[in-house]
């Protein structure tokens, strides 16, 4: 630790950090909520929104051109901003299932998660999958029920669904007053006050006015109307009698999810949620998912994401590092555990999506972008002092495969560079056929949309046009055996031998029958769902889980 940083300062700075991810099913409003949190945090002064491809304004967190065209998030982004006395590190993740692998890696860097739900749709498939990942990582979850400006499910129904489907109890911190065009505000149960909202025609682009009133204020019944007022009193009484009381320890243990209601598009309920969240969410030293003690004097951090070409003008590449202990300082020397080499941590940057500024100092919980000339890999640990344990971030087994066919053979060098960089980011996996003279490159992806991202980025970032010829394979398994009859396996038409970027052999299988038949024909062949020595989700969490 720097001699200038006392233990007391370290504890205070770590205690101020809140590092969290937002998870949701597509179209639940995640990017819109992210934008509004930035608005209320003072990081932006006029909120944009995700709109059609012809729209002029786009969300700050969607920095990639493809995201602006499609109106979806396809890669995680990091957004850092202050709020009151807190320092916020917000990890915006893709909602689409095809990019779950990127979301999983990002959750490894989060101390808590905000689960966003559409009031009309409740718990959806992708919400369930990402919730399971959070539960396995013991990440506390805060629920924000969005789109209350539209008619949807009743709040009590949503509470019951959360318990039945997700297996977790909920505790509404606030309760909606009305729904649809009758949504007027929320009742803050902890502070026992009514919060009424007035958009004043800003259409959600500016911070809205809020009026706070005690529930027994004589004006409340007049403002709400007798029917809505009586309904609110009944709901509050029912929650007090039959609902779970707020218990911060149960929240931190992942047994209870605080529940909030609002509308990100109109800003209704955003500030009450953010105020409560920063008080309740764990700081790095309070998080159940600790990689090391955050106030440990020596520096440590791990790479959870690599991103090339965030700035098209510079064609640079950043390694996103979650600091896990000590103090990060610009140009410091640290050990890269995988290579056992000392490296200089030069050009560190803190980020607001694609916008960056130089970071002179950072603490546990912060995310720092390091200039990467190609020396980092996802999962790399960097540290000073005594070595610490690695953070296991598994590689995912691809389910879709295609041969890359280049349009201009003279651009093969650019193609190889682009594929290597994108594979190191985790966008796709690259395989090569071992046959002598074969120039075919096979790419594997967890989701089909990753192929679209691959084509788009190769064309726009590396000036290479390709065709993707889909292959009729469904499964990949790495081979643990040091010796096996590669030629015999390649003769079958239902499987193919390829090698990954580390030259490790693996088999591609046409279907379940091919996988099972090969196991019967070659009983001594040891097949793994991940590269040898790399943990999968089952090994990491001691239970079966697949996206």
Place of tokens 């690599």: 306
pLDDT digits (tens, 9 = 90+) for 268-279: 999 999 999 999
Res. 357: pLDDT tops 80: no
Token pair belonging to 329: 């300082």
Q: Give me the residues paired with residue 508 across strands.
A: 476, 496
Q: Is the dihedral of CA 283, 288, 289, 292 positive or negative?
A: positive
Q: In the structure, what pLDDT confidence band is assigned to residue 392 with cuts at 50, 70 and 90?
A: confident
Q: Which domains are seen in the chain, by residue range?
A: 22-76+96-101+111-280 (3.40.50.300), 300-383 (2.40.30.10), 400-541 (3.30.70.3280)
Specify the pTM: 0.81
CA distances from 545 to 41, 131, 133, 138, 508 (A): 36, 12, 8, 15, 21
Task: Please check whether residue 383 is in contact with residue 391, taking contact to mean a CB–CB distance below 8 angstroms.
Answer: no
Closest CA to 107 of 99, 362, 145: 99
Task: Give exposure, 40-65, as e/b (b: 16+ Cβ within 10 Å).
Answer: bbebbeebbbbeeeeeeebbbbbbbe
Res. 439: pLDDT tops 80: no
Res. 50: pLDDT tops 80: no
Average pLDDT for residues 91-97, to the nearest whole number?
A: 66
Residue by residue, what is the 3-state secondary structure of 385-433?
CCCCCCCCCCCCCCCEEEEEEECCHHHHHHHHHHHHHHHHHCCCEEEEC
pLDDT digits (tens, 9 = 90+) for 228-277: 999 999 999 999 999 999 999 999 999 999 999 999 999 999 999 999 99
Percent of the chain with pLDDT over 70: 85
Q: What is the pLDDT of residue 83?
A: 93
**What secondary structure letter does DSSP report for 42?**
T
Task: Name, in order, each residue with C-beta under 8 angstroms of 410's C-beta and a sequence gap of 6 or more.
Answer: none
Task: Name, in order, each residue with C-beta under 8 angstroms of 84's C-beta and a sequence gap of 6 or more.
Answer: 278
How far is it, in rounded angstroms, from Cα 370 to Cα 306? 9
Closest CA to 322 of 383, 253, 279: 383
Place of tokens 């692998």: 101
Cα–chain center distance at 497: 33
CA distances from 512 to 133, 268, 495, 517, 546 (A): 26, 49, 11, 8, 16
Task: Please check whether residue 302 is in contact with residue 381, taking contact to mean a CB–CB distance below 8 angstroms.
Answer: yes
Q: In the structure, what pLDDT confidence band is assigned to residue 19 with cuts at 50, 70 and 90?
A: very high
pLDDT digits (tens, 9 = 90+) for 113-159: 999 999 999 998 878 878 888 888 889 999 999 999 999 999 999 99
**What secondary structure letter does DSSP report for 353?**
T
Closest CA to 298 of 390, 386, 389: 386
pLDDT digits (tens, 9 = 90+) for 290-311: 778 999 999 999 999 888 766 6
The DSSP code sequence of 259-277 is EEE-BTTTTBTHHHHHHHH
pLDDT digits (tens, 9 = 90+) for 477-500: 999 998 988 888 887 789 999 999
Task: Please check whether residue 76 is in contact with residue 92, taking contact to mean a CB–CB distance below 8 angstroms.
Answer: yes
Q: In the structure, what pLDDT confidence band is assigned to residue 205 with cuts at 50, 70 and 90?
A: confident
How far is it, in rounded angstroms, from Cα 38 to Cα 199? 18
Q: What is the pLDDT of residue 240?
A: 93
Res. 72: pLDDT tops 60: no
Average pLDDT for residues 417-424, to the nearest whole number?
A: 87
Res. 338: pLDDT tops 60: yes
Task: Name, in order, each residue with C-beta under 8 angstroms of 390's C-beta and a sequence gap of 6 or more.
Answer: 302, 337, 379, 381
SS3 of 161, please? helix
Q: Is the dihedral of CA 375, 379, 384, 388 positive or negative?
A: negative
Task: Name, in order, each residue with C-beta under 8 angstroms of 312's C-beta and a sequence gap of 6 or more.
Answer: 460, 461
């Amino acid at each position: 630790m720097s001699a200038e940083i006392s233990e007391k300062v370290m504890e205070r700075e770590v205690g101020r950090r809140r590092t969290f991810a937002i998870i949701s099913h597509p179209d639940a409003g995640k990017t819109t909520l992210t934008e509004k949190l930035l608005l209320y945090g003072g990081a932006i002064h006029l909120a944009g929104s995700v709109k059609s491809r012809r729209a002029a304004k786009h969300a700050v967190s969607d920095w990639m051109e493809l995201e602006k065209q499609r109106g979806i998030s396809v890669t995680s982004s990091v957004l850092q901003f202050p709020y009151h006395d807190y320092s916020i590190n917000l990890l915006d993740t893709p909602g689409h299932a095809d990019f779950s692998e990127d979301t999983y890696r990002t959750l490894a860097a989060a101390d808590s998660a905000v689960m966003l739900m559409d009031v009309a749709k409740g718990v959806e498939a992708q919400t369930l999958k990402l919730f399971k990942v959070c539960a396995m990582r013991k990440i506390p979850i805060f629920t924000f029920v969005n789109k209350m400006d539209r008619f949807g499910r009743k709040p009590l129904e949503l509470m019951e669904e959360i318990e039945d489907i997700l297996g977790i109890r909920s505790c509404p911190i606030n309760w909606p007053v009305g729904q649809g065009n009758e949504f007027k505000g929320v009742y803050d149960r902890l502070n026992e006050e009514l919060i009424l909202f007035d958009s004043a025609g800003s259409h959600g682009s500016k911070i809205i006015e809020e009026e706070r009133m005690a529930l027994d204020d004589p004006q409340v019944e007049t403002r709400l109307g007798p029917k809505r007022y009586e309904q609110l009193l009944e709901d509050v009484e029912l929650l007090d009698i039959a609902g779970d009381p707020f218990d911060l320890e149960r929240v931190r243990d992942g047994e209870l999810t605080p529940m909030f209601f609002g509308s990100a598009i109109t800003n209704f309920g955003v500030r009450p949620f953010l105020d409560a969240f920063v008080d309740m969410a764990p700081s790095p030293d309070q998080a159940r998912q600790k990689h090391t003690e955050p106030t440990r004097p020596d520096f440590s951090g791990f790479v959870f994401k690599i991103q090339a070409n965030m700035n098209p003008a510079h064609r640079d590449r950043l390694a996103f590092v979650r600091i896990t202990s000590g103090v990060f300082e610009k140009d410091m020397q640290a050990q890269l555990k995988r290579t056992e080499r000392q490296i200089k941590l030069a050009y560190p940057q803190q980020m607001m999506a694609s916008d960056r500024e130089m970071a002179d100092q950072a603490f546990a919980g912060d995310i720092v972008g390091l200039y990467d000339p190609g020396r980092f890999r996802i999962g790399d640990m960097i540290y000073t002092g005594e070595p610490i344990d690695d953070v296991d971030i598994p590689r995912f087994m691809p389910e879709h495969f295609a041969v890359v066919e280049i349009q201009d053979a003279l651009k093969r060098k650019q193609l190889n560079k682009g594929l290597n960089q994108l594979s190191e980011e985790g966008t796709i996996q690259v395989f090569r056929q071992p046959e002598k003279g074969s120039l075919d490159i096979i790419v594997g992806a967890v989701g089909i949309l990753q192929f679209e991202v691959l084509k788009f980025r190769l064309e726009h970032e590396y000036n290479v046009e390709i065709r993707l010829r889909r292959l009729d394979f469904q499964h990949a398994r790495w081979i643990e055996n040091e010796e096996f009859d590669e030629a015999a396996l390649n003769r079958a038409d239902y499987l193919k031998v390829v090698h990954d970027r580390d030259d490790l052999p693996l088999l591609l299988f046409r279907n379940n029958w091919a996988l099972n038949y090969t196991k019967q024909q070659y009983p001594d062949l040891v097949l793994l769902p991940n590269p040898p020595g790399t943990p999968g989700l089952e090994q990491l969490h001691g239970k079966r889980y697949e996206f």
